[in-house]
Every structure is written in C-alpha cells, then in structure tokens.
C-alpha cells in the first residue's frame, strides 16, 4: 500500500467512524464492475458519495435502534418521570 493510499484510508476511517470503510469500498468497486455503462468520471467524488450514503444509512439504523430501545424503556416504566419521582419519595 503506498503512502498516499494509506493516509487516505486512515483519513476515511476517522471521517466515517463506525463504518466498515474497506467493506464499503469493496462494494463500490463491485458496483463499478457490475455497471460498466455507468462509468464515473470523478472516482474520488463517487467514493466519497458512496461512503457518505453508507454512513447516513448506518446512523439511521442506529437511531432507529435507539428509538426502539427508548420506547421499550418507556413502555416498561423505566426511565419515566413517574418512576423517578417514586424513587425520590
């Protein structure tokens, strides 16, 4: 791996925290190979857009999971104001 590519990969890993950058780049490469008629002129922009989209999807999944977890806590009466107030008396 050359220095420029390595530093770019390190940057990407820091920029898109929590994302499997290597895996997403492999998916993007597979997409390019599977769609030769939709060739991209600016590959840097294509890869950045791909990673941004994957990261947004990851964050959306995490948000949905957190919302479900919070709703389960509310449904169980854990973390509600009423349960907190009962513990204070």
pLDDT tens profile 20-64: 999 999 999 999 999 999 988 999 899 999 999 999 999 999 888
Whole-number pLDDT of residue 88: 63
pLDDT confidence of residue 70: 81
The whole domain housing 32 covers: 3-88
State residue 35's pLDDT score. 96
Locate 76 and state its tokens.
Answer: 């169980």
Q: Which burial class, exposed, middle or buried, applies to 9 when counting CB atoms under 10 A from its CB (0-12, 13-18, 19+)? A: middle
**Residue-level pLDDT at 3:** 42
**By mean pLDDT, which of 14-18, 52-56, 75-79 is the weakest?**
75-79
Q: How many distinct structural domains can be found in the chain?
A: 1
- Look at residue 73 in the predicted model and tell me its pLDDT: 79
């Amino acid at each position: 791996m050359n220095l420029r590519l390595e530093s770019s990969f390190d940057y990407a890993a820091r920029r898109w925290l929590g994302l499997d950058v290597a895996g997403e780049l492999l998916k993007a490469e597979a997409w390019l190979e599977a769609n030769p008629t939709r060739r991209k002129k600016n590959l840097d922009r294509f890869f950045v857009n791909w990673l941004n989209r994957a990261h947004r999807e990851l964050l959306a999944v995490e948000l949905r999971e957190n919302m479900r977890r919070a709703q389960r806590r509310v449904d169980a009466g854990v973390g509600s104001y009423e349960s907190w107030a009962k513990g204070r008396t």
